[in-house]
A and B are shown apart, each in its own frame.
Chain A
Amino acid sequence: MAKKSGSVLVVGGGIAGIQAALDLANAGFKVYLVEEKSAIGGTMAQLDKTFPTNDCAMCIMSPKLVECGRHLNIELLTDTELVAVEGEPGDFKVRLHRRPRFVDLAKCTGCGECAKVCPVSIPSEFDEAICDRKAAYRLFAQAFPSAFAIDKRERPPCQISCPAGVHAQGYIALIREGRYLEAYQLIRKNNPFPAICGRVCHHPCEENCRRGEYDDPIAIAALKRFVADYAYHHRDELDRDPPPQKKGVKVAVIGAGPAGLTCANDLAQLGYRVTIFEAEAKPGGMMRMGIPPYRLPREMLDWEIETILKTGVELKTGHPIRDFRAIEALKEEGFKAIFIGVGAVRAKPLKIEGIDLKGVRLGLDFLKEVNQKGEASVGKKVVIIGGGNVAIDVARSALRLGAEEVHLFCLESRSEMPAHEWEITAAVEEGVHLHPAWGPIRILGKSGQVCGVEFKRCISVFDEEGRFRPKFDEKERTEIDGDMVIIAIGQEADLSFLTGSEIKLTPWGTIDVDPVTMATNIEGIFAGGDVVKGPASVVDAVGQGHEAAISIDRYLRGEDLKKGREKKEDLPKKPFPRFVVEKRREVMPHLPPSERIKGFMEVELGYDEKRALAEAGRCLECGGCSECLECIKACEAEAIIHEMVGSDHQIRVGAIIIATGASKFDPSLRYEFGYHRFSNVITSIQFERILAASGPYQGHIQRPGDGKVPKRIAFIQCVGSRDDEHDYCSSVCCMYAIKEAVIAREHDQRIEPTIFFMDIRAFGKGFDKYYERAQEEYGIRFIRARVGKVEEIPESGNLLVYYLDETGVVKEEFDLVVLSVGLVPSPPDLVEKLEIKTDANFIATRPFDPIQTHRDGIYVCGTVAAPKDIPDTVTEASAAAAAVQELLAEARWSETKVKEYPPERDVRGEVPRIGVFVCHCGINIGSVVDVGAVVEYVRTLPNVIYAEDNLFTCSQDTQERIKDAIREHRLNRIVVASCTPRTHEPLFQETLREAGLNPHLFEMANIRDQCSWIHPDNPELATAKAKILVEMAVAKARLLEPLHTVTIPIIPRALIIGGGLAGMISALTIANQGYGVFLIEREDRLGGNLNHLYYTIEGWEIPSYRDELIKKVESHPRIKVYKGVTIDEIDGYVGNYRTRLKNGIELEHGVVILATGAKEEKPDGYLYAEENRVITQRELEAMIWKKEVDRIKRVVMIQCVGSRDDERPYCSRVCCQEAIKNAIRLKEINPKVAIYIFYRDIRTYGLLERYYRKARKLGIIFIRYERNRRPVVERDGDDLRVEGYDPILKERIIINPDLVVLAPPIIPDPESARLSQLLKVPLNEDGFFLEAHLKLRPVDFATDGVFMCGLAHSPKDIKETIAQAKAAAARAVIILSQKGLRASATTAKVDRERCAGCGVCVSVCSFGAPELIESEGRRFSQVNEALCKGCGNCAVACPSGAIDHLGFRSEQTLAMLNIARRT
């Protein structure tokens, strides 16, 4: 087998993935952390507060985000998904795909200017669609990476289908924001004729517009015209592009039609000297010749052509190129490339009898005459032959020139006519008579003058292959009289000037070019427009003109013409980002037909602003980002790359951890609750965002429907949980609903929350107390009922909630309904890629190994495996890390990086030479504070040797500038005035180290969060304040001194106290990684509570598992087991402990794990101990195991005997599953046994709910009782008699069982209390060990080096104990695996001379850092640097001022205050 890899892949960047990544990276492994979204954080980042401590979720999580993001050995891959996995444990090959972010992570500074200018709003996924975010966005304010991302869904079909590639969605978005000139410029980027195409374009964009799938496509062309007209009227305000630099290279363009003009325009922009040769007297080609002014007013045409000519394009009109020699001559004149765009301007003749009669004309010639002279003579009754656009234009022009009757005949049927439908309609409105499906036989004449035409019926125009092959019915004929006949059956290119040249032509008489590059077969000659395509539209010509210009530029620079120009792969079509409400398109106002035919005035009148805005508002923004390119203009860091493409990566890793979390149930699937139908029915996670200060309403509680403050709020539990489809409990909803209700009350005392629930599942540590407080202190109403339905009261938007309580059916009115949505498994694609098994669609794990999937080397943690709360998730994450550490122990530190720094410069004795860097932070600071003035001011301060301002002080190039400045000016103190040290201090300190300075010679002034952001309206005072803030920092900087950390050696052994399940698992996990373990067990045998348990609810047998485990532990060469002994004394601190056992043995070790367990309390009352038919669940389990239950006929079980009462106000967590486990066993042994379970709340959380369901299926009867109405157990003669109360029938219920089984509480072991004294670690009020943080540090103590696991922490089941034991091992190994521990440099320091030895410091320190020492007859305090966290508590508390805090010395702080005081 290949050598094991020391790298690990963690999939999913929520709290589970983050914790696993940190635990692994800190223990010597390289981690790839892959996240599908653009930032890590997961669901926890969306939460407001967390239960039961009411900590802010983001506040406690944010440091982890930063640590994870900045970690040298964590490679964060955002926007990335897993493609495939091959290989085996220790040696996996993983393929990943990284989607384009469109923002360069290395360059983006997170300033947010792109989002400010972005015109596209998309419902914010982070705020659960309560509000919108921009397409250029950051997932949330504290996101890591802090770089923005651009959200592109599919490439907008309007843009893809435009031959010129105009960013239609982009300019529509800009119109919506009233940014018309920006919109105009965006169009002009791809199309120099916005005003022309806004009028005459055949707009394929509209045919492809996805709005058309609903009602009408967006009127894209009309909007373009609106913008162009606006720009025309405001043309003085348009930015004048600076005249392009002349490259001196000459290019000739033949033909001043749309293709030639576009090509010339593009080339001129690129700096070429372009000359256009045009045969006619005026430029414009068919735009001028073919399109009548009533469709395209001449001032628009002239304006747009002029705009092109102003870029320096030379135009030679009246300069036809008559033959190929003329082209050769151009080359000789120095034109290095030639573009041919002469169009298709020759009318096709019709070979027919009578064609030479007087009064017969060709359509194109007629139009040319009309358009050039403004007039032409027409007959009284004009007959037109042809059904294309030219024919229609001829017909409409003839009407305007005074023809009394105009008749149009064409071969095609009405629906097949090639002219655009809207043109035909307009012609008919104006009075043109249509005669479709007629083919001309001959033109009739009388004395040389035309007098009519004879037609025959045309049956079909095209054959089956679509070729032009008309068929006629010779018998059906008609005749029309007329004094003028105009033939308009098409036009073709006149290529006579190419006669004799080598230029290749197509069989259709067009120039043959490469379809991508527009290059002809002759080098240096390119062609485009109608001369290539045959008669087509303006926008097609524009598109080809662009492509030709790109080719000509490449050709002239000697580059490959084709590279990278293949058609872009389309992004997948996604569902629309929002719900579509029908709204038809805005009507284009027209001149009335009677007015139109009076002359050549423009027919379409264009949208006014109101219509344009309404029409633009209909855009569905199906592309997400509209590619309006405004962000590129706004981004000063030049970080935006719209052309970015995705990339594939292959990595080799030794193990994989899956931490992709769960999804939230979509409550619109539960129709009766009205989600999506009623605006004031929201989900719990939406309410979470509403509560959050960073949320859509800044923490003001209001209804999304109308912004009103809700008073009566109903929480409906189990929406998408505990039902037929989701036969599990989501574990977290009860607690988060209670928390949300409590926080809502804290926000606003007038709010009255009601929680509708079935069972309150407050099974975690401290949860039941929280539940009690919610009722008693906060007055939250709890109603035990599942809501049947919710109806809206339309007038008020309030909601009627139907439920059943003890009084009957109630209809109660609420202002807001919050649906506590459950967790649902994520889509199965990842599972399929990994080839692992699932259980209820959650990832399945193996018996007695809750983090091991069914594929070796792939582990799982968090809600992807089953619903669970944050502490259980974090515990599992550490446990998964432990499993990986174990698997890859031999490869530890093999793939990690260590940063090398230059030797530190000794600055002692130097006069302070301070360098100050003041940041603009884009415009975050710069737009408010006069940064230049601050720099000027700073330069006047004593000791400031150097000062400068930076656009972004945090950017990579600025770090280099800082290092250069340190060297060049021999700086020995650095001050940065910018944002917050919370996110940026480590970066700058790193820069100092790289420049050879001690990192503590650095000080930061926060002139953004504390200045520019809060005083945006008062720049003058803000500038003054910024000066003071920087001066304060300078004052402190003068007094900064280098600080050094000590490195503490580590004894690589662990002491584990308690040889039960937790202790044994921890011991094996650590020992298997090569570290020594001392395992201390008070009793004479290992196993603890496992010695009294026989099977789990899943059916796994415990005794065999236990015996195996004990064997492994006792035979392990690195585990030394001490049985029948307890601890006498523990001394020392992290890395260096010395422990004496009661038997006198002394042990040295680096860490301690407390696994002292807990035990079953003996029940009080219920005849227990008086009556042998009253037993505990554990005793029943033993009876079942020993098969002593076959004569039992009727059993009563009573839950919560001694739990959840005043004495023990906590839930023992496992009793519900124990009772159900044993009840199911009894039923399986004897289906006839009757079982009644008296309970208060059934707490079968997570997947355990399925066993509750199974118990009901088997006919086990559950009877709920209230705390103050417990069932009573008595003797009834020889019988047992249990009397209870059935709350459903509201009757007393009397059962005569032959067995009563009690569920007593789990209570902490007394040894825990003694150890808490010895190690100075805390217990909670129930006597269980108290962790450093209930959510995020579930196995740590505040004291470094001491950990806990198992029942000593709180009641839990076997799987949870195993996970926690592994987690504790993982955390311990992080210490054991280090070569030495670097203590913090900013620690407290005691001045022994001033210390009175009073011990106040000892009492205020949570970390046990100070201790009192006796020496030379007096007592004084001494701070252990290894334990000090630098919190400063002792320095503040010391009555004699003997403690100073390094880095925050009193004189440093006073120096700052003196500056502040002066002002």
Chain B
Amino acid sequence: MEIRLKELDEKFKYDIAARPGAENFTYCFFCGTCTATCPVAEVNKEYDPRRIIRMAILGMREAVLSSDIIWMCVRCYTCFARCPQNVKFADIMEVLRRMAVEEGYVPEDRLNLIDQLDQKVQELRCHLVRYLLRPTEELAGEIRAIINGLLEKDG
């Protein structure tokens, strides 16, 4: 494959940077800090924040917005904290997801689903932390219930 700039959307980067939270998007100098500290990248070799930014900056609008990759971010904000250029990658993921919905690459309720998932995961996390600190049977039951609920929904 090769990248033909002629066939890409050179304005894509400005569209992204125009959105709140993504103002610093083009500051990226591709040092790789985000990917090197990303917990998702650690388990999923396909997931590479630096690569996503590069594709976006070069104008690969369709490839980025139609990709499943942009939905992988768990928004742990480690990249956000470590980025030397304050690119705010976690926020940029949010922008890309909205653009993907707006431009019809994914169904509209994908965002809602992700939000709900985030909420459930957050709840699960809180329960797990409580359980780790002070395990009770009651808590264990609640945790099982959340997991089962998640599986049912996804299933």
Taking beta carbons and an 8 Å cutoff, which residues of A are in contact with B? 672, 718, 722-724, 758, 785-789, 802-805, 808-809, 1194, 1234, 1236, 1252-1253, 1256-1259, 1261-1262, 1286, 1288-1289, 1291-1296
Contact = CB atoms under 8 A, between A and B. Distances in A.
A788 B37 contact: yes
A1252 B28 CA distance: 11
Given A788-B32, A804-B32, A1289 B85 contact: no
A1292 B33 contact: no
Contacts of A1294: 2-6
B106 to A, nearest CB: 23
Contact of B58 (A803, A1256, A1286): A1286
Contacts of A1234: 5, 10
Contacts, number: 102
Interface of B: 1-6, 10, 13-14, 17, 26-38, 41-42, 45, 48, 50-51, 54-55, 57-58, 82-86
A740 to B, nearest CB: 21
B28 A809 contact: no
B67 to A, nearest CB: 13
20 contacts: A672-B37, A718-B84, A724-B83, A786-B31, A788-B33, A804-B32, A805-B32, A809-B35, A809-B36, A809-B38, A1194-B5, A1234-B5, A1253-B27, A1256-B28, A1259-B13, A1289-B51, A1292-B3, A1294-B3, A1294-B6, A1295-B5
A786 B2 contact: no
A785 B57 CA distance: 19
Contact of A1289 (B27, B38, B55): B55
Contacts of B37: 672, 788-789, 802
A142 B145 CA distance: 73
Contacts of B32: 785-786, 788, 803-805
Contacts of B34: 788
Nearest to B13: A1259
A723 B6 contact: no
A1257 B27 contact: yes
Contacts of A808: 41, 45, 48
Contacts of B36: 785-789, 802-804, 809
A1255 to B, nearest CB: 9
A800 to B, nearest CB: 11
Given A1234-B10, A1294-B2, A1296-B5, A786 B58 contact: no
B27 A1293 contact: no
A1257 B51 CA distance: 18
Contacts of A724: 83-86
By Cβ-Cβ distance, the 10 closest A-B pairs, closest first, are A788-B36, A804-B32, A786-B31, A788-B37, A723-B84, A724-B86, A1292-B2, A1288-B54, A1293-B3, A804-B35
A869 B41 CA distance: 39
Given A1292-B2, A1293-B58, 18 more contacts: A724-B84, A724-B86, A758-B29, A786-B31, A787-B33, A788-B34, A789-B82, A802-B36, A803-B32, A803-B36, A804-B35, A805-B32, A1259-B14, A1262-B29, A1288-B50, A1291-B1, A1293-B3, A1294-B5
A164 B154 CA distance: 80
Contacts of A1257: 26-27
A1296 B6 contact: yes
Contacts of B86: 724
A1234 B11 CA distance: 9
Contacts of B54: 1286, 1288-1289
A1291 B3 contact: yes
A775 to B, nearest CB: 21
Contact of B82 (A672, A1261, A1262, A1292): A672
A1233 to B, nearest CB: 10
Contacts of A1296: 5-6
Contacts of A1292: 2-3
Contact of A1261 (B45, B51, B57, B83): B57
Contacts of B33: 786-788, 804
Contacts of A1261: 57-58
A1176 to B, nearest CB: 23
Contacts of A804: 32-33, 35-36, 48, 50
A705 to B, nearest CB: 24
A34 to B, nearest CB: 37
Contacts of A1256: 26-29
B85 A723 contact: yes
Nearest to A720: B84
Contacts of A802: 36-37
A1253 B84 CA distance: 12
A804 B58 CA distance: 20
Nearest to A726: B84
Nearest to A1255: B26
A786 B37 CA distance: 11
A811 to B, nearest CB: 9
B148 to A, nearest CB: 33
A105 to B, nearest CB: 46
B31 A785 contact: yes
A718 B31 CA distance: 11
Contacts of B31: 758, 785-786
B39 to A, nearest CB: 11
A758 B50 CA distance: 14
A1022 B30 CA distance: 64
Contacts of B3: 1286, 1289, 1291-1294
A1289 B8 CA distance: 15
Nearest to B32: A804
Contacts of A758: 29, 31
A749 to B, nearest CB: 30
A1295 B7 CA distance: 10
Contacts of B85: 723-724, 1253
Contacts of A803: 32, 36
Nearest to A1261: B57
Given A722-B84, A802-B37, A803-B36, A1259 B26 contact: yes
A422 B5 CA distance: 84
B54 to A, nearest CB: 4
A1258 B23 CA distance: 11
B60 to A, nearest CB: 9
Contacts of A1258: 26
Contacts of B45: 808
Contacts of B38: 809
A1293 B2 contact: yes
Nearest to B3: A1293
B8 to A, nearest CB: 10
B82 to A, nearest CB: 6
A1258 B26 CA distance: 8
A1343 B13 CA distance: 58
Given A802-B37, A1291-B1, A809 B50 contact: no
A787 B36 CA distance: 7
A1295 B4 CA distance: 6
B10 to A, nearest CB: 5
A103 to B, nearest CB: 45
A804 B17 CA distance: 25
Contacts of B10: 1234
A735 to B, nearest CB: 20
B58 A1289 contact: yes
A458 B120 CA distance: 63
A1286 B31 CA distance: 14
A564 to B, nearest CB: 57
A785 B82 CA distance: 14
Contacts of B48: 804, 808
A1295 B3 CA distance: 9
A1257 B33 CA distance: 19
Nearest to A1283: B2
B84 A786 contact: yes
A672 B79 CA distance: 12
B5 to A, nearest CB: 5
Contacts of B17: 1259
A1288 B55 CA distance: 9
